[in-house]
Structure formats: C-alpha cells, structure tokens
Amino acid sequence: MNHKQRLELTWIGKDQRPRLEPRILLEDPEKSYHAKTRITEGDIFDNRLIFGDNLLALKALEQDYAGKVKCVYIDPPYNTGSAFEHYDDGMEHSIWLSLIRARLEILWKLLDKTEGSIWISIDDSEMAYLKVLCDELFGRRSFIACNIWQKRYSRENREAIGDAHEYLLVYAKEPDVFKGIRNKLPLGEKQLSVYKNKNNDPKGPWRAVSFSAQGYRPNQMYEIVSPYTGKRHRPPSGSCWKVIEDEYNRLLSEGRMFFGKDGNAVPSRIQYLKDIEGIVPWTWWPHDEVGHTDESKKEIQALFGKQDAFDTPKPERLIQRIIQIATKPGDLVLDSFLGSGTTAAVAHKMHRRWIGVELGEHADTLCIPRLKKVIDGEDPGGVTSAVDWKGGGGFRYYRLAPSLLEKDHWGNWVIAKDYNAAMLAEAVCKLMGFSYAPSESEYWIHGRSSETDYIYVTTQSLTHEQLAAISHEVGEERSLLVCCKAFRTNNLDAFPNLTVKKIPQTVLSKCEWGKDDYSLKVENLPMSAPPPEPPIAQPSLFGEGE
C-alpha cells in the first residue's frame, strides 16, 4: 500500500462536518447601548454583542470579518468528563473535538492575515488533544507559546496532586511578524523596585546590568581598566564582553558604565528606567501579575452582588495582558465564548473594538449590565484604574435570524414566514457569496460580488417581459444573478447578462436548515438512538422446508 500519511489527531466521527447556514444578524435596538456623550475623540461605538449559538454566529461573521480580527481569545468548556457517563469510551472526546474544530476553523479565517493571533484557555483534561488539533489546523510553525496561568494561590488538598494552573495556547498567522509587532509588557512593582537613584543621577532611576555574555568572540575579549582605581578586568571565564571595544568606550564616555561603589568591581552597564520600553512576556504567568480565580469572583461580586453569578470567570488582569501583547488601540478583539463579558469589558476599557458572542441568559443578565457600567464609567474594579478608564463608547446588540427555510404542512422546504423582503435579500446574498449592499436608485441591486456583478432577490414570479426590462437596465457591461420565486420564459438565452435561479430550490443543497443548536456543552446533546432490535423469528404455518 502506498497511502500518503501525515501526523494528525484521529477521533470518532472526524470526517463528519456540520453544514452551517450563514445566518444574518438582526439588531435589537432596545438592547443596544451607547454613551450619551463622547468622552474622548477615540470613543468606539461599533462594537457587537451577539446573542446566539456561537458556531452559527461565527459563520454569520465569516463573510464580513474574514481577515479583520487582530486577536481572538476563547475560553471554551473544558470537557471535564463529568457529563459523559452515558457515552461509550472515547465518544465524549470525539464530540468535543469535532465541535471545537468547527469553531477553530472559522476563527482562524477571521484573523488578520499577518498580525492576527488566537489565544485559547484550556486545562489538563483536553490540553494535549487541543495542542495536536491546533498544530494540524494552523500548522506547527504558527505555534507561539503555551503559557501557564497560576489560577490558584492556595493548595488544593482534596486532590492527589492539587490543580493550580491552566494553559493559554497561542498561535499566530505569521509568527515572525507577530514576534516583531507584539507589545512588551509594562514593568510591574517587582521590576520597578530594582531601579534606584541613590546618587541623584539627573537621568533618573537606574540599575546595573551584566556587561558579560557567554561565548567567545575575539573582538570582545579586550581588557577593561577601571577609570577610578586602575584595576584591570578581563571577561569572566567562558565569557566575553557584550560589545566591541569602541562601543564600550562610547558607553564609558556617556557615564553608562558602573564599577561598583569602590570602583574595583567587575564592570557593568547602567540601564536607566526612562529607556525601558517594557519587558518581554514569558510563558509563566503568576497570579500576582495577572490575577487568580478568587480575584475574578470578587470582580463579579462587585458588579452583580454575588459570587456565583458565573461559574468560571477569568480575572480582568489576565485578559488585559493578552490584549496588551496582541493588539494596539483600535484593533478588533473577538471572544465567541463571552461568558460574563470579561473580554468585552477589558477590550472596551483598553480602547479596542470588540465582538462578543454568548448564548443563554448570560448575554442579558451579565454581559449587558456589565458593559453598560463600563460605558457609563461606573465599573467598580478590574483594570479600570490601571487603564484610567472614564467611560464612553457603546455596542450594538444582535441576535441570529431564524433559519431561512422551514417546512410547510406537506413537508416541503419554503422561505420562513418570519422573513421580510429585506431579510430575504440579505440572507440570499450571504448564501450566494454576495456582499449585501442594496442600491438607493436601482431596485434590482441588492448586493454585489464585484464592480460589475450584482444580485437581485425577489419573491415575485417574473415574466418574460419583466426579465427583458431588467436585462435592458443592467446593460451589456454588467451581469446580474436573479433569485426569484419562479419565472416564465421560453428563451433565457435572450438575456445573456442575466442568470436566473428559483428560490428556495437554488439554495436547498447549500447547508442544513432549521438547526439552531451546535452546543459545545456535550451534556446537552441528545443521546443517539439505540440500534433496532433484530426481529424475532416467527414459526412457519407450514413447518420446515416450506
């Protein structure tokens, strides 16, 4: 056998993929919210809070937002296994992997092609599987880091080995570009405390850093003489000086070399606090730098008056660090498992644009009131003071439209009765790959795929005469896809600039209709039907050998 093999993760049902319907989004103006006045010129109002199944919501965003998101952060259900006692061994992991893969594939498409990065919170239960899956989907070269977040500061004595951490997997579209543009972190209290100014240096606080480097470079093995005592210094064993002699002489002339209090110490370089842009992130994220679970629960309690408003919130400082590293003001951040709204709240305070998706009561009971407080400048805690947030901006609240097609009394697929003409036009545009852009002057332009290619959607039955009139208006230099209920003509070839399709027939095969739940909470999925029992053999009326 000569099958081409590759390194990949295999699971039950891997080849089965959902055929997602690209729904349209409908704004609910009563739940959208904006500040009454502008606080700054940089206030952002076009944020989106989307209520609905997050896989369908991602599919709804795909056409308009592909390549536009700078940072994706998700905190998906961790698949602890507690919900799977009724499933066959291995089935629970397979279901989880299939559902998370479908989301990751779309999220990867949404990322900016050069600067985009995705950050995924996960724990030990699925981390190893998820890492291999991400390598397969994104490519191993796209892997940046597996950060470890210390979520607890006290021991868990109820376990054989206490659980004290979670992971943050990070992948980037272009790792080399991401490395070049990723932002350094501001110095914390520990880093700041090492900068002193005991000699009242007019350049401000400073510290001494090593002037030696490992290795052997002939032009960096020179002798240094202390200008204060005349003591001679050679590089330490197995090392050389960090720079060539000419560069050392420049640093010495600028007063940037330090020989200890008595002038006899091994030379070191003076580093001024004012010259530090920040520190390079590393993979260990301790609780004192980015918060812990108790801190996040207190943040929820301060907002909503009770700690149990949300089971697994993340501290705002954790999300702040992600956004600090991966984005700059004005960039777009997306969280499709918004939960209590932490990502949206922090992104808003940090002057980033954001999209959040949440299904269930949390969208209304937690996300909306939390974001209103942020916008009104009444958020009591989190990173509010650290980022000097005063309020402003706003968001629009959207829900997913129902499925475009539904079955009538006879079991035939028909356009759902909830759809008006505008909704139908937008939905068909999305299904056919056109950008919805209705013209104010031409009734037959509902969308376009290029400067000369348009689409027209109508529930009318079009006659030959009507098609002829439309064809005349379109002209020879443009083309038009006409999606209508029916048409009556014996000669479509008479209209070379028109392509005429019937709806719903033309879209029936594009996706699965009427499915509203692709829940990642596996415990909510229905059990598969048991196989039918084999029929019981009935005795023959005529005996054996009939």
pLDDT digits (tens, 9 = 90+) for 58-82: 999 999 999 999 999 999 887 655 5
pLDDT tier at 331 (50, 70, 90 boundaries)? Answer: very high
Give the amino acid at 91.
Answer: M
Give yes or no for residue 526 having a pLDDT over 70.
Answer: no
Sheet holding 257-258, edge to edge: 206-210, 268-272, 257-258
Residue corresponding to tokens 């943050």: 168
What confidence tens digit (pLDDT) does each residue in 363-416 have? 999 999 999 999 999 998 899 988 999 999 999 999 999 999 999 999 999 999
In this prediction, residue 90 carries a pLDDT of: 52
How far apart CA 71 and CA 326 sit, in angstroms, is 6
CA-closest candidate to residue 279, choices 171, 181, 183, 386: 183
How far apart CA 496 and CA 489 sit, in angstroms, is 14
Decide: residue 271, CB within 10 A, 0-12 exposed, 13-18 middle, 19+ buried. Answer: middle
**Taking all residues of the chain, what is their mean pLDDT, rounded to a whole number?**
89
Q: Burial code of 110-149, b = ≥16 C-beta within 10 A, e = fewer? A: bbbeebbbbbbbbeeebbebbbbbbbeebeeebbbeebbb
In this prediction, residue 155 carries a pLDDT of: 77
φ and ψ at 107, to 5 degrees? -60, -40
In this prediction, residue 85 carries a pLDDT of: 46
What confidence tens digit (pLDDT) does each residue in 281-314 have? 899 999 999 999 999 988 988 888 765 566 678 9
How far apart CA 515 and CA 66 sit, in angstroms, is 24
What confidence tens digit (pLDDT) does each residue in 251-277 have? 999 999 999 999 999 999 999 999 888
How far apart CA 453 and CA 379 sit, in angstroms, is 48
CA-closest candidate to residue 457, choices 468, 467, 447: 447
How far apart CA 476 and CA 496 sit, in angstroms, is 8
Average pLDDT over residues 90-104: 83
Q: Burial code of 17-44, b = ≥16 C-beta within 10 A, e = fewer? A: eeebbbbbbeeeeebbbebeeeeeeebb
In this prediction, residue 490 carries a pLDDT of: 85
List of residues 6+ apart from 317 with CB closer than 8 A: 289, 290, 291, 295, 382, 383, 386
Residue corresponding to tokens 């056409």: 63
In this prediction, residue 519 carries a pLDDT of: 78
What confidence tens digit (pLDDT) does each residue in 121-130 have? 999 888 999 9
- What would the two tokens of residue 530 be? 């048991």
CB count in 10 Å sphere of residue 345: 28
Average pLDDT over residues 227-247: 95
Give yes or no for residue 29 having a pLDDT over 70.
Answer: yes
Instruction: Identify the structural domains of the chain with CATH numbers, from first to last.
Output: 26-186+280-400 (3.40.50.150), 189-275 (no CATH), 405-510 (3.40.1350)
Size of the chain in residues = 546
User: Is the Cβ–Cβ distance between 350 and 320 less than 8 Å?
Assistant: yes
CB count in 10 Å sphere of residue 481: 22
Decide: residue 287, CB within 10 A, 0-12 exposed, 13-18 middle, 19+ buried. Answer: buried
Torsional sign, CA 305, 309, 311, 314 = negative
In this prediction, residue 546 carries a pLDDT of: 33
List of residues 6+ apart from 99 with CB closer than 8 A: 55, 518, 519, 520, 522
Whole-model pTM: value is 0.83
How far apart CA 436 and CA 446 sit, in angstroms, is 6
Q: Which alpha helices (H) appear in 202-265, and where do they start and end? A: 245-253
Task: Tell how many helices (H) and how many strands (E) occur in the chain.
Answer: 14, 27
Give the amino acid at 373.
Answer: K
Decide: residue 438, CB within 10 A, 0-12 exposed, 13-18 middle, 19+ buried. Answer: middle
pLDDT tier at 177 (50, 70, 90 boundaries)? Answer: very high
